[in-house]
Structure 1
Amino acid sequence: MSSPFAFDIQFSPRESAARDALDRVAEAEIGLFAGILCLTELEDRMARTVRPTFRASTYRLTFWLAENWWRLCWEPEADHLDWQLSHNLAAIGAGYLWPSLTFISDGEDVTLRMRSSTVAATEDIRYLVQQDLRISLDAWVSGVDRFIGAVIERMRTSGHKDTELEALWNEIQEERRDAQTARWRKLEALAGLDPGAESGAFLDTLLARQSEIGPSGLEELVAACKDATQATLNRLANIREHSASGLAMPNLESLRQRIHEQLNSKRVSNSLTEAQEPPWQRAYEVADAVRDDWALGSGAISNAQLAEALGAEQQLLLTPNASTLSPISAGFRDEHSGHFAVAIGARAPTGRRFAVARLLGDYLATSDAERLLPATTTKTARQKFQRAFAQQLLCPVEDLKAFLDTEHPSDDHIEEAAAEFHVSPLLIKTTLVNQGWLGREFLQAF
């Protein structure tokens, strides 16, 4: 389950000799908490104590949070410096020793990734916590809102009214209240852009096509393709019209209806505790329901079984065609209930099986408003759901564990399991890492 913990940034003002007038008022002992867990616990070597707070400027912290607010809320994890500067507190600088705490959003939850210090013995402060903790996006937003509001009030009562921070925060609050502006800011963030960036002009054209794509589908494409989204859409539209492969699954809509009822029931139940199931857990439940509906039993699904269940030719699953190879894998839902076609971007047979399984899971879980169903490499909640669904459909965790029959699988074991379940060795390793059987270092070679 997602953590129901509240996110809280506490501060206690302290006397300061900082040169900047705002910093002199804003310096404080600052502690960041998720529930009762203190993320900022540190060792003060000079005082020979362990304490929960660090000394820094609350003004600098709040300004960084406000300046990056939209990206912190919506931009999925990426592997480049610009993303790090917008998501890791250590980027604030200004002479303070900030914790290495990264905020990673998937659109539903925020992972608080805290890393302990790796410092020389001569340095005075050493952060102690090494942990990834997932909280809801709503909890993160509430905690940031409270903190920024408290700091602004502190500045005002100390004689610093109408600061640049206050003006920026008021502007963000207005944008959040206006649905159209908030939608635009979200798309900018998904594209990895700062608010108002000139390079975001391409979003105008995309918004005009939202009805033919779907609101969530558009977001997924923007997050994955950035300024190449328009070109990707045009290529997918051509494939859809001329060469997409239709699937003919019997009783598809009745299965989809049951899955929607199952997911909606979970949402209602979980809303009472403010805790949501993570995407992988929802995906496992849906995949198990599909295997049950298809009467597949346990174990691997052969190519023939999968093709028959999908109402597709085995060639679609196994053999790429240069004329139909898609820039990304995508599904297409039209206005006629039960009509579903796919374009597969993967070339290898195991990759094509995985891609079509991802698209099936996405079709079953998304609403009719989603017309284009993209399968991308981004780390949004929707893509996490797709990948977990495909993994559990093709290689159920319990069946994998039974096949391996060891708590310390070797590379040979992993290769044998991949061949047994007709999936890639990477999928086997990723599953074992996610289940805690292997450490994350086992993925570094891939």
Structure 2
Amino acid sequence: MNAVPELAIRWEWEAAPSVKAPEHRATWARIEITVGAEHVTLVEDQESGSSRRSIYCPLYPLAEWAAYNWWLLRADARPARSLDLWGLEHYDSRQFRRHSLRGIGDGFLWPNLALIPEGEHKRLIWQRDRFPTSGRPIRFLADGEAFVDRDSVDRELISVISAVLTRLAEQGVTDTPLEKEWAEIQRADPDEVEFCLAAARLGLDPYSEAGPYQQLIMRAAAELRGDLLGDFLDAVEPARIGQALDWIRGARTEIEQAPEAEAARTLREELRRSRAAPGNRSWEKGWNQARVVRRILGLADQDVFDLSAYMNSIDQPTADRGLQAVGGSTGVSGPLAVVEPGRPGGSRRFTLSRALWHYLWESEPLFLVTTAYTERQKVERAFAAELLAPAQGIGELLSVPPEIAIQDDLDGIAAHFQVSPMVIKHQLDNQLLPI
């Protein structure tokens, strides 16, 4: 198994007698940030052209940023949706300030390092400054991406906050916004922590934005449990919570009345007697699980998967665009997925295959398929892609090497597997093209 890199923030206090703000003067430091062996703070000095692995500025703004965005940094996975599409350059300004160190500001230039929670990990992605900018003494030079243990990142941020508070106390600087914010966070009881994390999953600051939605959040927590609640909060728009809960309740009634898909039940029983190689990453886990399914069913890599034998479905308008389907099984009925109507055939098959992953590989009686990009959603997307259009089968059907394939090639293979060309492209990019 590959070693999981760690985030490390190191500093050495420096004298800064000319700095006016007392919290900045007290915490002025040489700061170095690394992820594994990668130096996020590798910079070029614009005047001399030389490079170094650290920056000089106060540590206080970083600690204050981490405290003010604490709950969002722990639970808000929503930025992953726009990040995968547009990267850091097109980040929404509010998300940018809350998840990227570049948003710290305070008159200092920080690296464009984003911290996005994804299940048991945090996705760290950093981007260099493409061109020198007038008036900036340094330019960041490093690009990279890593999945880091979630708790280790939280511990590193806590160590920064604690060190800054200790330094401020030693230097006689008290009553700072950081001190007040962190004290409030530390005082939170279990119920408040649960609410703050739920609000953060909705993309809301629990202290300044979640108030109007408090009753809706509490209703969601009362009606949904476990992964179902988490997936719901990761995807629904706060203002649509009530309608979305009503939609799920109605879908539950449909599921309870659905005919049993005996083939799906038999397949699930066989899978529970088998073992799938887990994989190091979420997408590898999904690919491996799909391969086990196809192997049990005796499907060759070019065979088209008959989804209708394993997942019943009905159309019903969804209450929120982030919720694409709700599905489940009562044990004597289903599985059935209630799907947003009007989806093209290939897109519908992909959504239903994601729903099938929940039924086959998890024990939850009710589940959601959403637009979120959390770790679980990545597993189910990878499963659906490999189940419907195996990478090996795509390679066999291609008449040219993958690196010179054109859109017409992808369209033909997509038609064969009855999926969208985007699925074929993702399979090509992620499994067939040379790294």
The two structures have a TM-score, normalised by structure 1, of 0.84
Unaligned runs of 5+ in 1: 267-275, 440-446
- Residue in structure 1 matching 2:385, options 391, 398, 410: 391
Greater shift in the superposed pair: 202-211 or 132-141: 202-211
Unaligned runs of 5+ in 2: 83-91
Greater shift in the superposed pair: 55-64 or 36-45: 36-45
Tell whether 2:289 aligns with 1:290: no
Q: Which residue of 2 aligns with 1:442?
A: none
Q: Identify if the C-alpha distance between structure 1 residues 247 and 166 changes in structure 2 by more than 3 Å, giving closer, same or farther.
A: farther
Across the aligned residues of Structure 1 and Structure 2, the Cα RMSD in angstroms comes to: 2.8
Distance in 2 separating the partners of 1:290 and 1:384: 18
Tell whether 2:428 aligns with 1:435: no
Tell whether 2:150 aligns with 1:156: no
Tell whether 2:166 aligns with 1:170: no
Q: Which residue of 2 aligns with 1:345?
A: 340
Q: Identify if the C-alpha distance between structure 1 residues 67 and 402 changes in structure 2 by more than 3 Å, giving closer, same or farther.
A: same
Q: Which residue of 2 aligns with 1:108?
A: 120
Tell whether 2:253 aligns with 1:252: no
Greater shift in the superposed pair: 63-72 or 6-15: 6-15
Distance in 2 separating the partners of 1:345 and 1:134: 32
| Aligned 8 A contact 1:8 1:144 in 2 | no
Tell whether 2:230 aligns with 1:219: yes
Q: Which residue of 2 aligns with 1:330?
A: 325
Deviation at 1:288, TM superposition (A): 1.5
Distance in 1 separating the partners of 2:158 and 2:273: 33
Distance in 2 separating the partners of 1:246 and 1:429: 35
SS in 1 for 2:29: strand
Distance in 2 separating the partners of 1:179 and 1:413: 55
Greater shift in the superposed pair: 62-71 or 8-17: 8-17
| Aligned 8 A contact 1:4 1:136 in 2 | yes
SS in 2 for 1:4: coil
Q: Identify if the C-alpha distance between structure 1 residues 415 and 261 changes in structure 2 by more than 3 Å, giving closer, same or farther.
A: closer
SS in 1 for 2:298: coil
Aligned pairs (5 A) from 1:126-145:
126-145=139-158
Deviation at 1:240, TM superposition (A): 3.5
Distance in 2 separating the partners of 1:205 and 1:248: 35
Distance in 2 separating the partners of 1:55 and 1:207: 45
Deviation at 1:233, TM superposition (A): 2.0
Distance in 2 separating the partners of 1:124 and 1:403: 53
Distance in 1 separating the partners of 2:242 and 2:210: 14
Q: Identify if the C-alpha distance between structure 1 residues 391 and 432 changes in structure 2 by more than 3 Å, giving closer, same or farther.
A: same
SS in 2 for 1:195: coil
The two structures have a TM-score, normalised by structure 2, of 0.86
Q: What's the % identity of the aligned pairs?
A: 25
Q: Identify if the C-alpha distance between structure 1 residues 66 and 209 changes in structure 2 by more than 3 Å, giving closer, same or farther.
A: closer
| Aligned 8 A contact 1:3 1:134 in 2 | no
- Give the letter aligned to residue 293 of structure 2: V
- Give the letter aligned to residue 66 of structure 2: L
Aligned pairs (5 A) from 1:300-315:
300-302=303-305, 305-308=306-309, 310=310, 312=312
SS in 2 for 1:250: helix
Q: Identify if the C-alpha distance between structure 1 residues 257 and 149 changes in structure 2 by more than 3 Å, giving closer, same or farther.
A: farther
| Aligned 8 A contact 1:331 1:363 in 2 | no
Deviation at 1:22, TM superposition (A): 0.8
Q: Which residue of 1 aligns with 2:55?
A: 54
1:405-424 CA distance string (max 9 Å, x none): 51321111111111111110
- Give the letter aligned to residue 181 of structure 1: E
- Give the letter aligned to residue 167 of structure 2: R
- Give the letter aligned to residue 296 of structure 1: L
Distance in 1 separating the partners of 2:150 and 2:270: 28
Total equivalences in the alignment: 414
Q: Identify if the C-alpha distance between structure 1 residues 436 and 393 changes in structure 2 by more than 3 Å, giving closer, same or farther.
A: closer
Distance in 2 separating the partners of 1:124 and 1:426: 43
Distance in 2 separating the partners of 1:198 and 1:40: 33
- Give the letter aligned to residue 56 of structure 2: R
